[in-house]
Structure 1
Amino acid sequence: MSDSGFGDFEFERKFFVRELPAVATSDPSPALIVQAYLFAADGYAVRIRLQGPAPDTLDGTPAALVQRLGEDAIGTMTAKGPAAGGTRYEAERNLDPMVAGQIVSRAEHVVAKVRYSAWLGEDGWVLDRFLGGNAPLVLAEVERGSPVVDLTIPGFCLTEVSEDDRFRNEYLAHNPFGDWAAAYGRELDLLGANFVNTLGHNDFEGSTPPRHG
């Protein structure tokens, strides 16, 4: 949720990453996020999230992961609207972590991931390594308090998925990446990399990758 005066809106861009980059190891305290989607349709979603320091053991059911988060977890409830041009309505409110954990433990559509944070250039980035049925998906996100324009894109970002609804967490909760990872790999090999070109100038770390569309 933005604190910049834009109210309940988030401004982010999201990228597909082949594997977790070394920069993720610079985060001394990655977070485990377990979140359930109580409703998701046409870009609108209601999410319950429990988040806390990542434990040593990251396997097991969502209910088991919730138990491992312990007393330091933070609970939130979030309503989201459809995204357009890297902007999405997002109203987030605190929720009692015990209540959040009980809801997530009982929910049908759940996403679990480990989040690493890193400061790259002028931006703070997060790298999400998904667990369970969404493994081995890794996504990189950059968020600002206003539209993310004139961005320097790290070399580990293979292609941008900011406008690909398949990589929204609510979609992944219903259609785990593991079920279509191979098909997406073939699609990426066929079509090549694609980056949004309507948000200012993209600078690419290292050599400029091929861009399509």
Structure 2
Amino acid sequence: MIEIERKFLVKDDSYKESAFTQNHIAQGYLSSAPARTVRVRIKGKKGFLTIKGISNTSGLSRFEWEKEISISDAEKLLLLCEKGAIDKTRFEIKVGSHIFEVDEFHGENQGLVVAEIELNSEEEFFEKPAWLDKEVTGDSRYYNSYLSTSPFRNW
């Protein structure tokens, strides 16, 4: 499956007023190689294994495969991950006909807040809420795999 996604920095925390879900996420990388990242994630009470390919030249699209796994398996796999875990809280906000996922990072990435929206095509129109700031789509510094090895607080 091809994932089409745009990323933005966030101006303030007013998005929290409209959030319909909030989940803690812990994740690590079995491989952080840009051509094939392999991620283990625990989101709320569910575990996931995800493989992502390299982004296209615009940074908007890339291959993504995800499979739900047991919490127990996810916990065991997290122990095998590369150094640099990601710890964040994800808020989901409906804006128009789309869902924004806003990640508020903790730990080494404290202070970083990034919003993502998945689209059906690279040209698809979407409503931009007032709390969106600068677009960072395609800027690899904002990939979780990069943040796991080069934390935001060291920039």
TM-score above 0.5: yes
Structure showing greater relative contact order (alpha-carbon pairs closer than 8 Å, 6 or more residues apart): 2
Matched, 1:75 2:47: yes
Structure 1 distance, partners of 2:116, 2:17, is 16
Deviation at 1:34, TM superposition (A): 0.6
* Structure 1 segments (4+ residues) deviating >6 Å: none
CA contact (8 A) 1:33 1:51 kept: yes
Larger radius of gyration: 1
Secondary structure at the aligned position of 1:103 is classed as helix
User: Could you tell me which residue of structure 1 aligns to residue 61 of structure 2?
Assistant: 87
User: Could you tell me which residue of structure 2 aligns to residue 99 of structure 1?
Assistant: 73
- Residues 106 and 131 of structure 1: is their aligned pair in 2 closer, same or farther, counting only changes over 3 Å? farther
Matched, 1:162 2:137: yes
Deviation at 1:157, TM superposition (A): 1.9
CA contact (8 A) 1:33 1:50 kept: yes
Q: CA RMSD in A?
A: 1.7
Equivalences, count: 152
CA contact (8 A) 1:24 1:127 kept: no
Deviation at 1:179, TM superposition (A): 1.0
- Residues 92 and 153 of structure 1: is their aligned pair in 2 closer, same or farther, counting only changes over 3 Å? same
Secondary structure at the aligned position of 2:125 is classed as coil
Letter matched to residue 140 of structure 1: A
TM-score (norm 1): 0.66
CA contact (8 A) 1:11 1:148 kept: no
Secondary structure at the aligned position of 1:178 is classed as helix
Deviation at 1:44, TM superposition (A): 2.2
Structure 2 distance, partners of 1:149, 1:132, is 34
CA contact (8 A) 1:113 1:128 kept: yes
User: Could you tell me which residue of structure 2 aligns to residue 205 of structure 1?
Assistant: none
Letter matched to residue 71 of structure 2: P
Deviation at 1:164, TM superposition (A): 0.2
- For structure 2, list consecutive stretches of 5 or more residues without a partner in the other structure: none
Structure 1 distance, partners of 2:84, 2:2, is 24
Structure 1 distance, partners of 2:132, 2:15, is 13
TM-score (norm 2): 0.89
More strand by share: 2
Structure 2 distance, partners of 1:140, 1:13, is 8
User: Could you tell me which residue of structure 1 aligns to residue 17 of structure 2?
Assistant: 25
- Residues 111 and 16 of structure 1: is their aligned pair in 2 closer, same or farther, counting only changes over 3 Å? same
Structure 2 distance, partners of 1:28, 1:94, is 22
- For structure 1, list consecutive stretches of 5 or more residues without a partner in the other structure: 1-7, 53-72, 181-213
- After TM superposition, the structure 1 = structure 2 runs for residues 55-204 of structure 1, keeping only pairs within 5 Å, are 73-84=45-56, 85=58, 86-105=60-79, 107=81, 108-147=83-122, 149-180=124-155
Cα deviation per residue 1:71-106 (whole Å; 9 max; x = unaligned)? xx1111111001123111001112121110132255
Letter matched to residue 24 of structure 1: K
Deviation at 1:28, TM superposition (A): 4.9
